[in-house]
């Protein structure tokens, strides 16, 4: 293994380490039917993505249960508190999520390199227990969550909090995520290196596989 100046590596969670399984639309449609709402998974998937885009305009969005209630109601097309509570609980547990195939190998490599391995995530209070259920928590030295810091990426404070936990300087750390703005621009603005992950293959400079991060780190020397 090449020796580099990197002492810490941080990862985003949703879209980087884990994904909804089998899909947001499937889960929403299944739960909705139990509440006498007969909808199609594809319609729920589309409605969810639209609701996310429309409502994600507050400094603290995904960190708050109240925001998720608004997203669910808009996705369903009606206010349905029992349906929301069931969905909110389902997404708190491992049954609604799946780790990508490249995740555990990447995290084991990070441990083998004696790096501080951390998470920097825009998430709510469900994240820590979810990672525990998925048996991913064992790989991380620190978990920095927006609901606890009070700032979401790309805000500087959440990156700085993670750096303090790792006890490293910004130039000694990299952050990997699937959002150009939240993950890459946020990390760079905080003085770190940011790597964009696009599993679908968009973007000429983006990582296609999480394991490719080591090529970028080693190439940088």
43-64, pLDDT tens digit by residue? 999 999 999 999 987 777 999 9
Q: Do residues 61 and 156 share a domain?
A: no
Sign of the alpha-carbon torsion through 14, 19, 24, 25: positive
* 61 plus 123 within the same structural domain: no
- What is the structure's pLDDT at 202? 66
Question: Domain ends where: 75, 96, 117?
Answer: 96
pLDDT beyond 50 at 141: yes
Residue 1 lies in a domain: no
CATH number, domain with residue 194: 3.40.50.1000
Same domain, 87 and 147: no
Q: How many domains is the chain built from?
A: 2
CATH of the domain at 58: 1.10.150.720
Could you give the 3-state DSSP secondary structure of residue 21? coil
Q: What are 77-106's pLDDT values in tens digits?
A: 999 999 999 999 999 999 999 999 999 999
Residue 77 sits in the same domain as residue 135 = no
Tell me the pLDDT of the chain averaged across its residues.
Answer: 95
Q: Are 84 and 104 within one domain? A: no
In terms of residue numbers, what domain contains 87? Answer: 20-96
Residue 2 lies in a domain: no
The answer to whether residues 133 and 150 belong to one domain is: yes
Two structure tokens written together for 17: 């380490």
Answer whether residue 220 shows pLDDT above 90. Answer: no
Please tell me whether residues 115 and 194 are part of one structural domain. yes
Per the structure block, which two tokens stand in for 90? 């389902």
* Contact assessment for residue 17 and residue 103, using Cβ atoms and an 8 Å cutoff: yes
Looking at residue 3, its pLDDT comes to 41
Q: Which residues does residue 97 pair with via DSSP β-bridges, in sequence order?
A: 20
Q: What is the pLDDT of residue 200?
A: 80
Which of 136-145, 174-183, 195-204 shows the lowest mean pLDDT across its residues? 195-204
At residue 174, φ and ψ (nearest 5 deg) are: -125, 155
Q: Are residues 119 and 32 in the same domain?
A: no
């Amino acid at each position: 293994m090449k020796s580099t100046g990197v002492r810490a590596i941080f990862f985003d969670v949703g879209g980087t380490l884990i994904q909804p399984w089998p899909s947001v639309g499937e889960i929403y449609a299944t739960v909705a039917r139990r509440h006498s709402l007969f909808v199609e998974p594809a319609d729920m998937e589309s409605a969810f993505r639209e609701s996310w885009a429309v409502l994600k305009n507050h400094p603290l969005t995904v960190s708050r249960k109240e925001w998720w209630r608004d997203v669910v109601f808009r996705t369903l097309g009606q206010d349905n508190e029992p349906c929301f509570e069931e969905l909110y609980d389902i997404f708190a547990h491992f049954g609604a999520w799946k780790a990508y195939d490249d995740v555990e190998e990447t995290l084991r490599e990070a441990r083998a390199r004696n790096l501080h391995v951390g998470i920097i995530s825009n998430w709510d209070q469900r994240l820590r227990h979810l990672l525990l259920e998925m048996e991913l928590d064992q790989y991380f030295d620190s978990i920095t969550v927006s609901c606890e810091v009070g700032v979401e990426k790309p805000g500087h404070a959440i990156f700085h909090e993670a750096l303090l936990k790792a006890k490293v300087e910004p130039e000694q750390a990299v952050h990997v995520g699937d959002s150009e703005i939240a993950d890459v621009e946020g990390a760079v603005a905080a003085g770190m290196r940011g790597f964009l992950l696009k599993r679908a293959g968009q973007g000429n400079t983006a990582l296609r596989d999480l394991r490719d991060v080591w090529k970028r780190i080693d190439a940088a020397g």
